[in-house]
Amino acid sequence: MTSTLLRGRLLSFNRAPQSLTDAGSYTYETNGGLLIEDGRIVARGAYAEIKAKAPAETIEIDHRPHLILPGLIDTHLHFPQMQVIASYAANLLEWLNTYTFPEECRFVERAHAERIATHFYDELIRHGTTTAVAYCSVHKASGDAYFAEALRRNMRMVGGKVMMDRNAPQGLLDTPEMGYDETRAVIAEWHGKGRNHVAITPRFAITSTPEQMEAAATLAREFPDLHIQTHLSENHAEIAFTCELYPEAIDYTDIYARYGLLGRKSLFGHCIHLSEREADAMSEAGAVAVHCPTSNLFLGSGLFPLKAFARREKPVRIGVATDIGGGSSYSMLRTMDEAYKIQQLLGERLNPLDSYYHMTLGNAEALSLADRIGTLDPGTDADLVVLDAAATPAMALKMEVVKTLPEELFLLQTMGDDRAVAETYVAGKAVKTAL
Ligand code: GUN
Ligand code: ZN
């Protein structure tokens, strides 16, 4: 058994911060030690104390003066959209039809899916993201490529073969039966293999017939522990079209509820324009609204009411995500910078503790995976990110006047990107500098 001892400033959240001065919401060790064995964290504390406990042959890595945090988590992005990023479109539906659907057709080729999968994981690692929740394309081969590469890299990943059987090009359509059978095949081959989690993935109500929604409902009943992911209430034209397609539903959220898709393992991308009734329904079901700020700004979709959702009498659970390739950056730091600006436009404050909570423990809780990822707690997986707040000359200059941890976190969020990620650890192994 090999033991590794990391030295640096350790930051891990215990719960959602109530304010910028809520010191009980996190644990911060200024001269910390983190002992890792067999891919797990076994001890955390003051460096001297952990060093004294470490076996004699322990390998020591000194990351001072950098911060060591749990690996960042991205709860919504599209693996087949790496070459869709930066596509010039007026809105969501134009962007989907003009760029996104044609690009996803290419994933019928296993070799293409495998090539993109390699780049996909390289980018996650480069940006300090150690767990992500992705949509593959409709093709089973894309799911196979996605999970095979996750297994090879020993990363904890969630994902699903998209189900879609209408309102898209022929090359991107399955049928209710195919969607069901191929999702079952992906579950049988990949769920629980290595650190893989398969998600039931009807793309959104526009691209699934009621018959396919029934098939998704059956899968949800047959596999109640699996995540479910789809899109909800992103754009006004999308909402209007969706409600025309399902006239019997009260509203967009009700469509998913009618098919048994609204529950604690359900992740709904966007949720920008929900009514109070829909937000109540989400809250009562314990479903998660996933905020994708760079995407919402890029596609002009709207301003997500993150703070308003959190302080409701019936709060809505929240995840944060890049939504590549509607989103424009793989970086969760860039993502939270844009999330901050969206709250500013809404007259709200998103403080830096909140941001880092969301990128780590908050997203782990949104995935019901906080027992494994999202903290530096002993017993959990040693998925980590090492952040350097002086990574660029401009950041280093600003760091000269930074005095507190929240100030440093805010600088990292405001100016940081992959250059600020000094190292990424997956199950205790340094993987970024090895790229
Ligand atoms: N709604 C349905 N599919 C998509 C997608 O690929 N990206 C975004 N942003 N919204 C969607
Ligand atoms: Zn999406």
Instruction: Tell me if 174 sits within 8 A of 163, measured CB to CB.
Output: yes
Report helix, strand and coil shares of the chain as percent, to nearest 5.
40, 25, 35
Instruction: Tell me if 133 sits within 8 A of 162, measured CB to CB.
Output: no
CA distances from 4 to 33, 379, 413, 428 (A): 10, 15, 28, 8
Nearest-5° Cα angle at 323, 357 to 118: 100
- Cβ of 99 below 6 Å from ligand 1: no
Instruction: Tell me if 69 sits within 8 A of 12, measured CB to CB.
Output: yes
- Cβ of 100 below 6 Å from ligand 1: yes
- Cβ of 78 below 6 Å from ligand 1: yes
List, in sequence order, the alpha helices (H) in 246-392.
252-258, 276-285, 293-298, 306-311, 332-345, 352-357, 363-366
pLDDT for the residue numbered 1? 72
State how far the Cα of 122 lies from the Cα of 84, in Å rounded to an integer: 17
The token duo for 341 is 């600006």
Residues 6+ away with beta carbon under 8 Å from 357: 13, 16, 17, 25, 26
Instruction: Tell me if 234 sits within 8 A of 91, measured CB to CB.
Output: no
pLDDT digits (tens, 9 = 90+) for 253-278: 999 999 999 999 999 999 999 999 99
pLDDT digits (tens, 9 = 90+) for 93-117: 999 999 999 999 999 999 999 999 9
The alpha carbon of residue 177 and the mean position of all alpha carbons in its chain are separated, in whole angstroms, by: 29
Across 340-347, average pLDDT? 98
Testing ligand 1's pocket by substitution, the residue of 79, 92, 252 carrying the most ligand atoms inside 8 A of its CB is 92
Tally Cβ neighbours within 10 Å of residue 86: 9
- Cβ of 195 below 6 Å from ligand 1: no
Checking if the pLDDT of 248 tops 80, the result is yes
The closest residue, in CA terms, to atom 11 on ligand 1 is 231
- Cβ of 229 below 6 Å from ligand 1: no
The token duo for 191 is 């769920």
Nearest to 55 by CA among 17, 20, 4: 4
Testing ligand 1's pocket by substitution, the residue of 203, 273, 295 carrying the most ligand atoms inside 8 A of its CB is 203
State how far the Cα of 170 lies from the Cα of 81, in Å rounded to an integer: 18
Question: Is 263 in a helix, a strand, or coil?
Answer: coil
The closest residue, in CA terms, to atom 1 on ligand 1 is 231
pLDDT digits (tens, 9 = 90+) for 6-39: 999 999 999 999 999 999 999 999 999 999 999 9
CA of 235 to the centre of ligand 2 (A): 12
CA of 311 to the centre of ligand 2 (A): 25
pLDDT for the residue numbered 2? 87
- Cβ of 197 below 6 Å from ligand 1: no
Across 301-315, average pLDDT? 98
Helix H or strand E segment including 230? strand 227-232
The token duo for 135 is 């949509």
Instruction: Tell me if 32 sits within 8 A of 388, measured CB to CB.
Output: no
Q: Which region holds residue 327: left if phi is over 0, alpha if psi is between -120 and 50, else beta?
A: beta
Q: Which ligand is nearest to the CA of 95?
A: 1
Return phi, psi of residue 409, to 5°: -60, -40
Beta bridge partners of 426: 429
Tally Cβ neighbours within 10 Å of residue 425: 27
Checking if the pLDDT of 218 tops 80, the result is yes
The closest residue, in CA terms, to atom 8 on ligand 1 is 326
Residues 6+ away with beta carbon under 8 Å from 87: 95, 98, 99, 100, 325
- DSSP for 24-58, please give it: GGEEEEEEEEEEEETTEEEEEEEHHHHHHHS-TT-
Across 360-385, average pLDDT? 98
pLDDT digits (tens, 9 = 90+) for 219-245: 999 999 999 999 999 999 999 999 999
State how far the Cα of 201 lies from the Cα of 160, in Å rounded to an integer: 5
Instruction: Tell me if 266 sits within 8 A of 229, measured CB to CB.
Output: yes
CA distances from 336 to 127, 141, 289, 308, 367 (A): 13, 32, 15, 17, 18
Checking if the pLDDT of 420 tops 80, the result is yes
CA of 28 to the centre of ligand 1 (A): 38
Instruction: Tell me if 139 sits within 8 A of 113, measured CB to CB.
Output: yes
Q: How confident is the model at residue 179 (pLDDT cuts 50, 70, 90)?
A: very high
